[in-house]
Structure 1
Amino acid sequence: MNDSSILLESGTNELEIVEFGIGQNKFAINVMKVKEILNPAPVVAIPHAHQYVRGIMELRGEVLPVIDVAKALDLPASENPQLDKFIVAEFNQQKTVFHVHAVSQIHRISWAQIEKPSEMYQGQESQVIGVIKLGGEMILFLDFEKILLEINPESGIKLSDVKKLGPRERSTKRIVVAEDSTMLRKMLHETLSEAGFQYLEFFENGQDAISYLENLAEDADRFSEKVQLVITDIEMPQMDGHHLTKRIKEHPVLAKLPVIIFSSLITNDLRHKGNMVGADAQISKPEISQLVLKIDELVL
């Protein structure tokens, strides 16, 4: 899992997922989040910790939190703990160990194969952000950022960070935002509005965003009046942020649009992927104040 050659060429709208099990249920995590997979190791319990947190463990000199994914999903505990696995992941500028019951295989798929969960069975509190159909089975794509946010709400996007920038005038900048999480769209709307941006157009995936932009681009002479900047997440059903950025930068009219990738997957190991598709800036969640300052820098 440490071999960087497993990472796909950027902008292809493909990803690789690690399939893992909790009981009889199958779930997935993006390979880009995974640093390594381990057999269970000793865990030190922490008094009064969040119910999802098993405790802490040491890994090559680092002390990392261990999250019980079964508890986070309200599913039964493992029947064979000696066969369980630890998934060591890195995102949102932190490393975390996720305790799962089994790890089976890696699949290469397209983001277009990931279906947005139906509102009929998908509440705002759910940790499932997509459904993948493979080999006659359904694999649920989990929102690990949301699990960590439930454990530590202070780790998310905070309105207070924007307020620290001081009073700001209302901005006429027109911004398109692609973000699949309902919760994060709401948080981004609140924080960017607080920062003075009043013209915000939100889309829940890259496909909807590029369709909107390409439609606007049909009137090339007035396009620059309609949108001045794009902010995009990376992990989104249908079309990911890297492919969206690539499509924008290859379009004869859209290419001049600044694109900021705002994602939990901005790490030193993965930053090159955004550079390959021409992103003008890459900022790791939840650094909202950096995002606001970068918008001001890119659009005068």
Structure 2
Amino acid sequence: MGEELKVIVFALANEEYGIEVDKVRTVERMAPITRVPKTPPFVKGVMNLRGVVVPVIDLKGRFGLKETEPTEQSRIIVVAVNDMEVGFIVDAANDVTDIDEDAIDQPPEVVGGIKAKYLRGIAKLDDRLLIMLNLSEVLNKNEIVQLEQMEA
């Protein structure tokens, strides 16, 4: 048995994804987002989270999937990446589950249209597959620099 990983399960375009709980700061309902000029289209802007300005990106847009209007179930998952907080807009944040580290396989080249570099692997749970995100790739260095300038 490998180590147990606690992950937050969220939905995006009919697929289920996971982010390790220790990288997640908070899960919020949709909130007002202020647009910021000269950012990539998937960067929706910034939000005020208890006095902290947090950049918000649409994960569907980031992965090249068709973006949709937020619904009642939509959530913003605020994660910490390299000492910076970023909000991800997702279709729904469903639950928290434990995954055995050994149950995570290498991702195929493309999963659901998403390049493997954004993925840490695929976790096999009893009756479903969970796509594990590689957060450092989802936010690559250049984008982090852009987002840090937004925070300033």
- TM (norm. structure 2) is 0.83
CA distance in 1, matches of 2:107, 2:116: 13
Equivalent residues of 1:19, 1:29 under 8 A apart: yes
Aligned equivalent of 1:141 = 132
Alignment of 1:217-232 (within 5 A): none
Query: Structure 1: how far apart are the matches of 2:31 and 2:73?
Result: 11
- Equivalent position amino acid for 2:47 in 1: M
CA deviations on 1:198-253 (whole Å, 9 max, x unpaired) are xxxxxxxxxxxxxxxxxxxxxxxxxxxxxxxxxxxxxxxxxxxxxxxxxxxxxxxx
- Match of 1:26, SS state, is strand
Change in Cα spacing, 1:141 to 1:62, as seen in structure 2 (3 Å) is same
Cα RMSD over matched residues? Answer: 2.3
- Given that 1:20 and 1:100 are in contact with CA atoms closer than 8 Å, whether structure 2 keeps it comes out as yes
SS in 2 for 1:70: helix
Give deviations 1:155-212, integer Å, cap 9, x for gaps: 8xxxxxxxxxxxxxxxxxxxxxxxxxxxxxxxxxxxxxxxxxxxxxxxxxxxxxxxxx
Letter paired with 2:127: G
Aligned match of 1:129: 120
Structure 1: gaps spanning 5 or more residues: 1-11, 156-300
CA separation of 1:78 and 1:128: change in aligned 2, threshold 3 A:
same
Q: CA–CA distance in 1 between the matches of 2:27 and 2:126?
A: 24
Per residue, is there more strand in 1 or in 2? 2
TM-score normalized with structure 1 length: 0.44
- Counterpart mapping for 1:215-254 below 5 A: none
Question: Residue 80 and residue 57 in structure 1: after superposition, are their counterparts in 2 closer, same or farther (change >3 A)?
Answer: closer
Flag the 1:22–1:109 CA change in 2: closer, same or farther, 3 A: same
Distance change in 2, residues 1:46/1:18 (3 Å): same
Q: What is the match of residue 93 of structure 1?
A: 83
Aligned to 1:67: 57
User: Which is greater in Rg?
Assistant: 1
Cα distance change of structure 1 residues 72 and 135 upon mapping to structure 2, 3 Å threshold: same
> What is the letter of the counterpart of residue 123 of structure 2?
I
Question: Residue by residue, what CA displacement relative to the aligned partner does 1:11-47 show, whole Å, maximum 9, x if unpaired?
Answer: x721100010012111110000011111000000011
Unmatched runs of 5 consecutive residues or more in structure 2: 147-152
Change (3 A) 1:42 1:68: same
Q: Which residue of 2 aligns with 1:45?
A: 35
Q: Is the 8 A contact 1:38 1:85 kept in 2?
A: yes
Q: Classify 1:83/1:94 alpha carbon distance in 2 versus 1 (closer, same or farther; 3 Å).
A: same
- TM-aligned CA deviation for residue 93 of structure 1: 0.8
Distance 1:54 1:103, change over 3 A: same
Give how far 1:77 is off: 2.2
**Percentage identity across paired residues of the two chains:** 27
Shift of 1:124: 7.1
Measure, in 1, the Cα distance between the counterparts of 2:47 and 2:144.
22
Return the letter of the residue paired with 1:39: R
Give the secondary structure class of the aligned counterpart of 1:126. helix
- For residue 31 of structure 1, the aligned residue among 21, 25, 41 is 21
- Alignment length, in residue pairs? 143
Query: C-alpha separation between the residues in 2 aligned to 1:37 and 1:134?
Result: 23
**Structure 1 16/125 Cα, relative in aligned 2: closer, same or farther at 3 Å?**
closer
Alignment partners' CA distance in 2, 1:98 and 1:109? 22
The aligned residue for residue 57 of structure 1 is 47
